[in-house]
Chain A
């Protein structure tokens, strides 16, 4: 158990809908990262928050957004869903940023299926 908690574990929704994925980082970790893993792609970095502020943006679509709350939990919002958004979404956390040499711990992921 990495200490990073993600909910829901599985989600099935229809095209055009909106979903929210939730992540609770490890206790004391300030950085939260979101990653997407789809069938034919490796792990793709979406976005990072550090202590409530957006720190880095990767390959995140405009239909997707995220935020980190004062209690440091984070939510990833996916809207106007398309079939191609079906993927495993991982949240990860670390005490500081990835460049500091901190270990980054991954949650178990949220499986999203868009039908």
Chain B
């Protein structure tokens, strides 16, 4: 059974501060690592798909890094804004029969306090 772990489970950050959180995944048979942003009552929004060790991707104030050898990815948010409040999910292909379906972590619930 694939285990995708995210920490912390929840995070309160002051507006303007930067923050980061972690996704841990199995380091063997790596294919890709997906990050999503999920707001209540909306669909998960794709942020990044990372495939190469050492990959670093950026989208505005949000960036992510990937270490496939040790099985972790970090998501960074610079200068947090209230609109960044959401649950951030990472996901790893392979579930059940080890095929394409993404196995999701339980997410990091981020609350930005004004």
Residues of A within 8 A of B (CB): 2, 4, 31, 33, 42-43, 45, 47-48, 50, 55-59, 90, 97-109
Chain A residue at smallest Cβ distance from B34: A104
Q: Which residues of chain A are near B62, meaning CB under 8 Å?
A: none
What total of chain B residues lie within 8 Å of the partner, measured CB to CB? 27
User: Which listed residue, A2, A4, A99, touches B100 by the CB 8 Å rule?
Assistant: A99
Give, as a whole number of angstroms, the nearest-CB distance from A112 to chain B: 15
Contacts A42-B107, A43-B44; A101 near B102 (Cβ below 8 A): no
Give, as a whole number of angstroms, the nearest-CB distance from A20 to chain B: 20
Contact A45 B96 (CB under 8 A): yes
Main secondary structure of the interface of B (DSSP, over half): loop
Contact B96 A43 (CB under 8 A): no
Bound Cα distance from A106 to B89, whole angstroms = 13
Main secondary structure of the interface of A (DSSP, over half): mixed
Restricting to B95-114, which residues have a CB under 8 Å from any CB of A?
95-97, 99-107
Contact A56 B101 (CB under 8 A): yes
The reply to whether the CB of B43 lies closer than 8 angstroms to some CB of chain A is yes
Contact B100 A107 (CB under 8 A): no
Q: Which residues of chain A are near B106, meaning CB under 8 Å?
A: 42
